[in-house]
Amino acid sequence: MSNPENLGYTTDHEWVDLADPASATVGVTKYAADALGDVVYVQLPEVGATLTTGEACGEIESTKSVSDLFAPGDGVVVEINEAVVDTPELVNTDPFGDGWLFRFRVDGEPELLTAAAYAEHTKEG
Amino acid sequence: MSTPSPLHAVHEALSASFTDFAGWSMPLRYGSELAEHKAVRTASGLFDLSHMGEIELTGPEAAQALDFALVGKLSAVKPGKARYTMICDDEGGVLDDLVVYRLAADKYMVVANASNAATVAAALRERADGFAVEVDDRSASLALIAVQGPTSTAIIGSVTDADLDALAYYASVPSAIAGIDILLARTGYTGEDGFEVYVDGAKAPEVWRLLTEVGQEHGLLPAGLACRDTLRLEAGMPLYGNELSASFTPFDAGLGRVVKFDKPGGFVGKEALERRRDADVETKVLVGLIGSGKRAPRHGYAVLDGDGAQVGTVTSGALSPTLGHPIAMAYVPVAVSEPGTALTVDIRGTGAPVEVVKLPFYQRQA
């Protein structure tokens, strides 16, 4: 699956949909989901939590390992995806869709990679 | 550059995710490791374990050489049988845990973990010096394919003429699959009934293809190293590098029974292991821990007592795919090792309650 062109990306493998900066959607990329293996537990930030770019705001646990979820920008969490808490495998089956993680009100302008730059970042070599 | 398995092209065709393991590029998973895990518990999984080391010892004093080199009494193993044993250093530290097959009166095959294969081969060569025995490291040319799970007998039974009723657990027999010579062994590392097929690397893809074909109606799925780890953990089996290392003796791992002192002649590590056996020291023992919720204690996490003091360390842990709750193995002092004891694991800063249980976590129905 290619990375959607309309999203921004972090080097920590999160994607951000900035179409509505009052409620920007965040998830992890297909690349990250594949690397993690089967996701069995997701811990998300609470609604109202303040996010600081690059700081851990949650956890994604797979069969084999646990990874921090990093804030892709500054802001405040406005909504979390309860479905993914109950059904963590959504991260694997639909990382850019139903497997989204949380939404936040963006303060300032997060520095994100384009789809092409992210593809370059994840290129093996 | 890591070594590809003789089955690499097969794995690529199956779109496997690969992992570098002890210098080998091996399949981690083909799709979902949870689905592969479940297949092994309910049907069968097909594993490529060609990264394991195989070292053959042949000669009139092969048995004596192994009695000296290893902590087990390999001279007592009957031809056709296999034994779980260990190779220790002079201080009694575990260099590796091994499965040793006695293929004939004067011939054995030692199977070592991939990460220790070179160390084991070198130690066996050195320790065999002075005995009438040839040591032949066949790791590079031999492939190992495992079929593990409740339908494995049906699968293997339809491709070999071997009498599987007569093939006991921890036994092996020379056989053939479609005219290809194999060593067929009833061994494994998943807690299920299963078979291991040792075959020349060049012939391995053909054997894999046949097993896949026959296995289709028996629910056989190719299975990677990711699910192998959760399967062996559920079965309470130690993993070198987690539960076992050179800084532990077999006694520390609760596996002192594998050390046989009643062997004619000495063996490497004997004096140190006798001291360790007789020492009146506060020892740590390997226990099982179970938790609730979905967050698993993992390798390296601290185990705490009721006062919040660290009493041990988790060696392996995962959310058990079969049982649905977290399971872990850990070394803890004898005083808190009784089943039912309540302890805490520090999971990334959060204390998670766990209970000590007997190993294994999972046992197949007889």
CB-based contact B33 A40, cutoff 8 Å: no
- Mean pLDDT rounded to a whole number for chain B: 96
Q: What percent of chain B has pLDDT over 70?
A: 99
How far apart (Å, rounded) are the C-alpha atoms in residues A39 and A90?
Answer: 8
Confidence of residue B112 (pLDDT cuts 50, 70, 90): very high
- Chain centre to alpha carbon of residue B296: 22
- Residues B356, B360, B365, B366: is their CA dihedral positive or negative? negative
Question: So what's the ipTM on this one?
Answer: 0.84
How far apart (Å, rounded) are the C-alpha atoms in residues B25 and B19?
Answer: 6
Q: What phi and psi values does residue B38 have, to the nearest 5 degrees? A: -65, -40
* pLDDT score at A64: 84
Structure tokens at B354: 């766990």
- The answer to whether residue B349 neighbours chain A at the CB level (below 8 Å) is no
Among A63, A91, A92, A122, the strongest candidate for a mutation testing the B interface, having the largest count of B CBs within 10 A, is A63
- The answer to whether residue A64 neighbours chain B at the CB level (below 8 Å) is yes
* pLDDT score at A115: 96
Nearest residue to B84 (alpha-carbon basis) of B185, B229, B184: B185
Distances (CA, A) of B137 to A94, B14, B239, B248: 47, 30, 22, 26
How far apart (Å, rounded) are the C-alpha atoms in residues B311 and B335?
Answer: 10
- The answer to whether residue A61 neighbours chain B at the CB level (below 8 Å) is yes
* pLDDT score at A124: 60
pLDDT tens-digit map of B73-102: 999 999 999 999 999 999 999 999 999 999
pLDDT: which is higher, B279 or A59: A59
Number of Cβ pairs < 8 A linking chain A and chain B: 38
* pLDDT score at A88: 96
pLDDT tens-digit map of A72-87: 999 999 999 999 999 9
CA of B220 vs chain A CAs: smallest distance (Å):
20
- Is residue B366 scored above 70 in pLDDT? no
Cross-sheet strand order for the sheet of A8-9: A8-9, A14-17, A24-28, A102-107, A74-80, A50-51
Nearest residue to B201 (alpha-carbon basis) of B181, B184, B215: B181
Confidence of residue B253 (pLDDT cuts 50, 70, 90): confident
pTM of the full predicted structure?
A: 0.93
pLDDT tens-digit map of B189-225: 999 999 999 999 999 999 999 999 999 999 999 999 9
CB-based contact B295 A41, cutoff 8 Å: yes
Cross-sheet strand order for the sheet of B3-4: B3-4, B24-29, B17-21
Q: What DSSP assignment string belongs to A71-120? A: -SSEEEEEEE-HHHHH-TTHHHH-TTTTT--EEEEEES----B-HHHHHH
Residue B81 pairs with which residues in a beta bridge? B171
pLDDT tens-digit map of B18-68: 999 999 999 999 999 999 999 999 999 999 999 999 999 999 999 999 999
Average pLDDT over residues B219-233: 98
Which chain A residues have a beta carbon less than 8 Å from that of B36? none
Report yes or no: B2 and B24 within 8 Å, Cβ to Cβ: yes
Confidence of residue A125 (pLDDT cuts 50, 70, 90): very low
Describe the crossing of helices B33-42 and B225-234 by its angle, rounded to 10 degrees.
50
Which chain A residues have a beta carbon less than 8 Å from that of B296? 61, 66
Structure tokens at B89: 């250093």
Residue B86 pairs with which residues in a beta bridge? B97
* pLDDT score at B75: 97
CB-based contact A37 B296, cutoff 8 Å: no
Which chain A residues have a beta carbon less than 8 Å from that of B292? none
pLDDT tens-digit map of B259-294: 999 998 899 999 999 999 998 676 788 999 999 989
Q: What phi and psi values does residue B224 have, to the nearest 5 degrees? A: -100, -175
